[in-house]
């Protein structure tokens, strides 16, 4: 009888780039991460999601993170006019680049949050954590 390969669960390392204007704090991310099975989630506040370049996303993964979550303001609500539209374009480019490098593009997630969307924010962290757990560690080459 063939042995079934069981993917062991692991504690994912997730870097969150959080727009300063999103209404959430580092504590919100860390608390949600701890509750949602991602106690080693990290947070860097940025002035706008549009500042996140493809090179930074790749560098973040190469620094030992298993996933990159970018949280920006909703479209038409960016404090820098269209920074979040730039973020959309840059994340799309990043995903294409990751695909070329044979890295699963699902390791990167961009979403919009606002202060009144606490449950959406918590679910976003939960869903992304689950996604990264299902993908396994980044250094496994997927």
User: Which residues in this chain contact ligand FES in the complex, by CB under 6 A?
Assistant: 19, 21, 48-50, 72-73, 78-80, 83-84
CA 103 to chain centre: 15
Nearer to ligand FES by Cβ, of 21 and 128: the residue is 21
Nearer to ligand FES by Cβ, of 85 and 127: the residue is 85
Beta bridge partners of 16: 43, 69
Q: How far is the CB of 78 from ligand FES (least distance, A)?
A: 3
Which is nearest to 19 in space by CA: 60, 74, 97? 74
Q: How far is the CB of 22 from ligand FES (least distance, A)?
A: 6
- Rounded to an integer, what distance in angstroms lies between the CA atom of residue 141 and that of residue 89? 25
- Rounded to an integer, what distance in angstroms lies between the CA atom of residue 74 and that of residue 112? 5
Q: How far is the CB of 130 from ligand FES (least distance, A)?
A: 25
Nearer to ligand FES by Cβ, of 109 and 133: the residue is 109
């Amino acid at each position: 009888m063939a042995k079934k390969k069981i993917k062991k669960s692991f504690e994912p390392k997730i870097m969150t780039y959080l727009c300063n204007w999103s209404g959430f704090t580092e504590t919100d991310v860390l608390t949600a991460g701890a509750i949602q099975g991602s106690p080693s989630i990290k947070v860097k506040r940025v002035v706008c999601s549009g500042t996140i370049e493809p090179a930074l996303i790749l560098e973040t993964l190469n620094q030992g993170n298993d996933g990159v979550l970018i949280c920006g303001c909703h479209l038409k609500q960016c404090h820098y006019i269209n920074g979040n539209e730039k973020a959309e374009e840059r994340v799309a480019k990043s995903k294409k680049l990751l695909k070329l490098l044979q890295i699963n593009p699902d390791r990167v997630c961009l979403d919009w949050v606002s202060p009144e969307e606490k449950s959406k924010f918590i679910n976003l962290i939960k869903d992304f954590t689950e996604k990264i757990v299902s993908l396994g560690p980044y250094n496994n080459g997927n």
